[in-house]
Amino acid sequence: MDRLRNLGFLIKDVSRLYTRRFEEHANEIGVTLPQCKALVYLARNEGINQVRLAELTDIDPMSLVRILDRMEADGWIERRFDPSDRRAKRLYSKSKAKPILERIWRVGDATRAEALDSLSAQQRNTLIDLLEQLQGNLSKLEPLPEPTARKTARG
């Protein structure tokens, strides 16, 4: 039973160590973890808006704007006006980002290989299955977003 009490600590520590190792590899190719997160989520969600990308990446919106500004200046992404909301912008990756994304995938592959090194293929699959179950259990408990309150004009 004592081992179960350490579950949260263990998950947090594994996440910390995994992230640190990923960052070490990413630094070798000249990208930061936030840049990696932004590019990967953008590649999976072309045309996403900045607000949603900030939510998915868990990056503060103001920090994300600076990251996106840099990526746009480097020619990795482009912002386009949202046809349904001229104030909003949609994000798209450019061809110049593809080699960077390939390097990020390799960094992820190397980090994953290091983390899973001593596990058999069956243990790896079991680990993923169990983590997906935990994720599903906890996701069900997430509170639903509150509806935005409408302002009404009173006469």
For residue 7, is it within any domain? no
**Structure token digits, residue 1:** 């039973």
For 94, the domain range is 13-140
For residue 148, is it within any domain? no
Q: How far apart are CA 143 and CA 128, in angstroms?
A: 25
Lowest mean pLDDT across 41-55, 78-92, 122-136: 78-92
The domain that holds 37 is classified in CATH as 1.10.10.10
Q: How confident is the model at residue 133 (pLDDT cuts 50, 70, 90)?
A: very high
For residue 108, is it within any domain? yes
For residue 4, is it within any domain? no
Dihedral pair phi/psi, residue 24, rounded to 5°: -60, -45
**pLDDT above 70 (res 1):** no
Position 150 scores a pLDDT of: 46
CA angle centred on 58, ends 24 and 67, rounded to 5°: 65
What pTM did the predictor assign?
A: 0.80
For residue 5, is it within any domain? no
For residue 101, is it within any domain? yes
Total structural domains in the chain?
Answer: 1
**Structure token digits, residue 60:** 């503060």
